Structure 1
Amino acid sequence: MDMQWLDDVLALLEEGNMTRAAARRNITQPAFSRRIRSFEGWLGTPVIDRKTNRIDISPALLSNEVEIRALMSRMKELRTKIAHHDAAASTIAISAQHAPVYSTFPDMALRARTAFPQVRFRVRPGNLSDCVALFLRGDTNMLLCYEAEGAMTLQFGPNVVRGKWGNDYLIPVVGGALRYTIRDSGTLPSDTPAIVYPENSSFGALLHKRERPFGTQAHSANPVCETAFSSGIREMVLNGLGVGWLPFSMAYREIETGDLISLANRLGQEPLEVAVYADSKNDMAASLLELWAK
């Protein structure tokens, strides 16, 4: 199969018109039509219904647009890897929760580059369930995540090893104009706006189980926004949209400057571990885990 056929198909999907798609691909409409027919010949089934004055794109092609884009991305990535292969360099793919990507991974990467100057990283951020799925499928060599201290660790096969980068704490913070609503006792009114986590997220499940105020909708009188994206919560809290819970490593600089005020002394905190999982069959992943777990 000619890979340019997929580019043609994507242009057709985006334009919805053979003439516009051909112009976008810088070829004549008849030539473009022939390439689409060649793709249909390779596929073994038509992807467009050719009518007198218009064409209809098949539902099968429309429903698989995301898969086609993913295939093109993987093929371009493979081409780049082969063309620019460096025998001395290793690329480690890491699936990581959004929060540790922001809070801890920069320090981890600096330490890794000191020990292994040629190492490169491909970070795939996401929610914990998505990160675990990527790791299980073998799309990544390592998994970086937060785990509640003392909780059962994630269970994988015998080839997966776990290490701990360090400790952190989930703390409630407030910023912006809401800082001035804190009472002399160090508490906030119960109806203070809150940026909360979904109960089915990792932080949300922990805060809901501990019945932490302002953590989830069930324990907030005035939830104004719900999101599992900790970096987004940080920005909203800084702007005074609501009180929210953040890993201390994401908030300590702003706490030092006074842009954020910690409420941990009154509302408590949740201990966290920064956990790293690695496929032990990958030598570089195993070496990084050993380095990071020291």
Structure 2
Amino acid sequence: MIASASESDSGQEAGPIELRQLRAFVAVAEERHFGRAAERLHIAQPPLSQTIRRLEAELGAPLLYRTTRRVDLAPAGEVLLARAKAILAAVERAEDDARRAARGEYGRLSIGFTGSATYSLLPSLATTLRAHLPGVELELHGEMLTPAQVAGLLDGTLHLALLRPPVDEPELNLATIRRESLVAVLPRAHRLAAADSIALEELAGERFVTYPSYPRSVLRQAVESMCAAHGFRPRSALEAAETATLVSFVAAGYGVSLVPESVTQMTVAGAVYRPLRDEDHQVELAVAWRGDGTTPLVARALHIVRRELTTV
């Protein structure tokens, strides 16, 4: 409704203009005939005439010039017609957007991706979400470590996160969607680069480019556990939070590393990927979301993510 500071002819303070009055006025102004406008609105002509007279009284000015043959717009009516049509169109859009939001088809959706998922899953998932949710504003955040994603989910800056378990946070729900092995990434000039596969213990004396120790990366823990099972502790030469940076450091000769198999889809000049022999250690990829008050949009997007990405 529109607040009006005018006073009516009766001297009383005018009330707010109602949407039904605007719809009635627009119909008469466009039809230039009360009878046709009444038919358009599916009401009788006398109530329509009363509505227009009451609106004119509230505004304190004539909106229409009436003759026995036709209805013309007064100056105040010309101004109100343009404003009223814009207002009614905005109300219609607002109603439509509200219905779409209730169906999970409208709004903003923020998703975080761990490093490897940034390259292997983000492009295809973004395409799928845009196709199924065209009215949704997507915010996609790549190269996020699990602790940062957990913090984003808890403070509301993220709605969904593709991260590496484990996550010890009771407010979050997790569903595993994939499991994958770790592979070695080596400089192209490395002594083992030409091998079809390598044994993990062959890297015992190497310098490692690792994921961060703080905030502690889930993948760093996985790499250290695997190396410990083979009797050595990886010697860290450099740390990198972003997977692309980590592989680039390896390509530059700063050391070797272990990364999820999905990272092999990312090509970095000077780096080669080699599978590990006799290794059954796998890391999980999960989708995470807050358990309380999931909105229709988040629920709809979660369904799409799980349907499109789950392989376990």
Q: Place the TM-score, normalised by the shorter chain, in its bin.
A: 0.5 to 0.7
Q: How do 1:39-50 residues align onto structure 2 when only pairs under 5 Å count?
A: none
How many Å separate the matches in 1 of 2:223 and 2:174? Answer: 24
- Per-residue deviation at 1:198? 3.5
Partner of 2:154: 136
Q: 1:94 to 1:184 in 2, by over 3 A?
A: closer
Corresponding pairs, count:
198
Question: 1:117 corresponds to which letter in structure 2?
Answer: P
Select which of 166, 176, 185 maps to 1:173.
Answer: 185
Partner of 2:264: 251
1:285 equivalent to 2:298? Answer: yes
- Per-residue deviation at 1:136? 0.7
2:170 aligned counterpart, secondary structure: coil
1:178 aligned counterpart, secondary structure: coil
How many Å separate the matches in 2 of 1:117 and 1:146? Answer: 29
How many Å separate the matches in 2 of 1:104 and 1:212? Answer: 30
1:211 equivalent to 2:227? Answer: yes
2:127 aligned counterpart, secondary structure: helix
How many Å separate the matches in 1 of 2:228 and 2:265? Answer: 20
Partner of 1:33: none
1:228 equivalent to 2:238? Answer: no
Q: 1:153 to 1:248 in 2, by over 3 A?
A: same
Q: 1:239 to 1:232 in 2, by over 3 A?
A: same
How many Å separate the matches in 2 of 1:117 and 1:92? Answer: 12
1:127-159 CA-partner distances (Å, limit 9, x unpaired)? 221221121112221222022xxxx554333xx
How many Å separate the matches in 1 of 2:188 and 2:136? Answer: 40
How many Å separate the matches in 2 of 1:269 and 1:258? Answer: 27
Partner of 1:55: none
Q: 1:275 to 1:154 in 2, by over 3 A?
A: farther
Q: 1:120 to 1:168 in 2, by over 3 A?
A: farther
Partner of 2:217: 201
Bigger radius of gyration among the two: 2
Q: 1:174 to 1:120 in 2, by over 3 A?
A: same
How many Å separate the matches in 2 of 1:243 and 1:213? Answer: 18
Partner of 1:115: 132
1:155-206 CA-partner distances (Å, limit 9, x unpaired)? 333xx54334333332222132115566799454643332123442211122
Give the RMSD, CA atoms, in angstroms: 3.5
8 Å Cα contact 2:198-2:276 kept in structure 1:
no
8 Å Cα contact 2:195-2:274 kept in structure 1:
no
TM-score by length of 1: 0.56
Partner of 1:241: 254
Question: 2:110 corresponds to which letter in structure 1?
Answer: A
Percent identical pairs in the alignment equals 19
Q: How do 1:63-212 residues align onto structure 2 when only pairs under 5 Å count?
A: 87=97, 89-125=106-142, 126-147=144-165, 154-157=168-171, 160-178=172-190, 186=198, 188=202, 190-199=204-213, 200-211=216-227
8 Å Cα contact 1:93-1:124 kept in structure 2:
yes
TM-score by length of 2: 0.53
How many Å separate the matches in 1 of 2:275 and 2:168? Answer: 30
How many Å separate the matches in 1 of 2:174 and 2:197? Answer: 42
Q: 1:176 to 1:293 in 2, by over 3 A?
A: same
Partner of 2:287: 276
8 Å Cα contact 1:168-1:248 kept in structure 2:
yes
How many Å separate the matches in 2 of 1:285 and 1:108? Answer: 15
1:96-127 CA-partner distances (Å, limit 9, x unpaired)? 33332233222222222222233332134532
